Amino acid sequence: MRRKFVAGNWKMHGNLVDNDALLTGILAGIGEVRAEVAVCVPFPYLAQAKAKLAGSKVAWGAQNLSQHAKGAYTGEVSALMLNDFECKYVIVGHSERRALYGESDAIVAEKYAAAQTAGLVPILCVGETLEEREAGITEQVVGRQLDAVLNKSGVISFANAVIAYEPVWAIGTGKTATPEQAQAVHAFIRAKIRALDAEVAEHLVIQYGGSVKASNAAELFAQPDIDGGLIGGASLNAEEFLAICRAA
Ligand code: PGA
């Protein structure tokens, strides 16, 4: 059976005091969780996450990285810097990065490759906008986003990566994809990978993201191709996040 994996995406939330309380709360309840769990925190709090979580069942990671190894890139953070803080994961190509910061499929593919080169596990986000869904081109869009990475890094790279399917219209909107809607796209993604490498597809963790809550997690995670979730808003509350983790 594939492992289940739930990751929190804190986005641009938190401060030293609140983070400490949140991580303390998560650690207090993590014993009852069977799924693998991680939190992806803002860069300035990586040291705090490492200090608090080292030796626990909770992994940590970042939400973005530079595609460049080093150099004159003011404000950017490299994969090797993330390694200094012993990150395991890094989110790549989140729809907010794509939409608000102009990250193209090509840039996302470079970031994915940079993460893997440094030994980080990328959580590659893909997903369609409402307009694209209504135009009936969801698979075309998700397929194109995957192709950019497949063409650069190859299917075998997915042996060390996680995919998060996040329909843009479901992120932070309270509008969750139905389990059937999500499952259909997850199955499409796995089939696309399977066509290239059956073994890689079988073990590939594909998370669902977009308004996952304690109240809807179980039915989403019960779908055959949904292997956990990437959790935004609900990951900022320890009890809610733990309930989602227990559902996986
Ligand atoms: P949400 O965000 O759970 O707040 O919808 C998910 C994400 O953007 O990763």
For residue 223, the number of C-alpha atoms closer than 13 Å in the C-beta half-sphere is 24
Element (H, E) at 29: helix 16-29
The response to whether residue 210 sits with its C-beta less than 6 Å from ligand 1 reads: yes
Active-site residue identified among 94, 96, 128, 240: 94
**186 carries an active-site annotation:** no
Residue 211 to residue 228: CA distance in whole angstroms:
13
Atom from ligand 1 closest to the CA of residue 173: 5
| Ligand 1 centroid – CA 72 distance (Å) | 32
CB-CB contact of 111 with 65 (8 Å): yes
1 pLDDT higher than 80: no
What are the structural domains of the chain? Answer: 5-247 (3.20.20.70)
Identify the band that residue 31 occupies on the pLDDT scale cut at 50, 70 and 90.
Answer: very high
- pLDDT tens-digit readout, 82-93: 999 999 999 999
**166 carries an active-site annotation:** yes
Check residue 174 and give its pLDDT: 86
| Ligand 1 centroid – CA 145 distance (Å) | 19
Which sign, positive or negative, has the C-alpha torsion 46, 174, 179, 169?
negative
- pLDDT tens-digit readout, 161-189: 999 999 999 998 888 899 999 999 999 99
Place of tokens 């986003």: 145
- Rounded mean pLDDT, 185-199: 98
209 pLDDT higher than 90: yes
Q: What is the mean pLDDT of the chain?
A: 97
Check residue 175 and give its pLDDT: 86
Radius of gyration over alpha carbons of the chain, in Å?
A: 17
The response to whether residue 216 sits with its C-beta less than 6 Å from ligand 1 reads: no
- pLDDT tens-digit readout, 54-77: 999 999 999 999 999 999 999 999
